[in-house]
Chain A
Amino acid sequence: MSDWQLWEVFIRTKGGLDHRHAGSIHAADAEMALRHARDTYTRRMEGVSVWVVRSADIVASDPGEAGELFEPAESKIYRHPTFYQLPEAVNHM
């Protein structure tokens, strides 16, 4: 069992529009990963759909590069759509 791979689990909840990361599990193959995801993360009626993906297949950004990657956005508040006057007829923006 020590050679079982790590898998990331994504659940779409009732009424939810997208799959969200729920956690991770160990499994030897894709079928087993789905079973374990279901048994570990949908025990309380949370889910209507489950995705699993091998953790090794996820390409992640380097935390050490967080400065270059994300700080430049901080000074650009004009990218938020908060400077527009909305006509009164437009709801739910």
Chain B
Amino acid sequence: MDKPLFNALLQMGDDSLVLGQRLCEWSGKAPTIEVDLSLSNLALDLIGQATMLLDYAGQVEGEGRDADRLAFHRDAELFRNSLMVEQPNGDFARTVMRHFFFATYASALYEALSKSSDETLAAIAAKAVKELRYHSEYAAEWVVRLGDGTEESHSRMVKALDWHWRFIDDLFEDDADWAELAERGIVPLRATLRGNFGKRVAQVFGEATLEVPGEVWPLTGGRQGRHSEHLSLVLAEMQVLPRAHPAATW
């Protein structure tokens, strides 16, 4: 099996899966019914991406596991998602800030991946990039609206920014497997996406009257399976039904 490719597909698939599950937690609790629908739409896009990426990971592995098997019958330490996506939603400001960071990163990643030498990955990326560009725009509008809104909304966005900023390095980490794939022309080094990411963040924060923070002590390890305790809890909720009834179908 192509282990670097398998691990890379898990990193991307798990990012989408865990963030999709987190967004689903807003269902029925969002500020308005329209926002509720919007967040569910974002979540369903992500879960669709996770299904494609994890199905492909299963094919690469060659042991008969499909996306459902990888999503529902794998323990937390085998997940390769970034730390940012597994954190609790917090308030709406924190959810919106996370989505802005993630979708801006991911849309740049999938844009580059749509030219991958791996045709399956290129096809998945070409579909995902359209969805994620929309996500990035949607979230950026909310960052501006709330950042440049009332005193209350501004202070919540500042708190949200402080919360997420330490997870950015983890989001962009290139581990040894990823670097090997980059050499083979299958993925871009995430580090090469960081410059445009920074420009976009600075531009949106300018409109949102938010200051780009300085350096902070980064929290990393998600890509190697070193997660916060929050991942086990979100997986427990997501996995309980298929584990209790393994043969159940829709």
Give the interface of A toward B (CB within 8 A): 1, 4, 25-29, 31-32, 35-36, 39-40, 43
Contacts and interface: CB of A to CB of B under 8 A. Distances in A.
Contact of B37 (A4, A27, A39): A39
B145 A25 contact: no
- For the complex, would chain B's binding face be called helix, strand, loop or mixed by DSSP majority? helix
B238 to A, nearest CB: 23
Given A39-B37, A39-B38, A32 B31 contact: no
A40 B34 contact: yes
Contact of B32 (A1, A29, A35, A43): A1
A36 B141 contact: no
B245 to A, nearest CB: 29
A4 B41 contact: no
Interface of B: 31-32, 34-35, 37-38, 41, 138, 141, 145
Nearest to B32: A1
B99 to A, nearest CB: 13
Nearest to A35: B138
A39 B41 CA distance: 7
A4 B32 contact: yes
B141 A31 contact: yes
A32 B141 contact: yes
B221 to A, nearest CB: 35
- For the complex, would chain A's binding face be called helix, strand, loop or mixed by DSSP majority? mixed
- Top 4 closest pairs, chain A to chain B, by CB: A36-B34, A39-B38, A39-B37, A39-B41
Quick one: which of A1, A39, A40, A43 has the most chain B CB within 10 A? A39
Nearest to A39: B38
A45 to B, nearest CB: 13
A26 to B, nearest CB: 6
Given A1-B32, A4-B32, A36-B34, A28 B41 contact: no
Contacts of B35: 36
Nearest to A25: B34
A29 B145 contact: yes
Quick one: which of B31, B32, B145 has the most chain A CB within 10 A? B32
A14 B167 CA distance: 42
A40 B33 CA distance: 9
B104 to A, nearest CB: 17
Given A31-B141, A35-B138, A40 B37 contact: yes
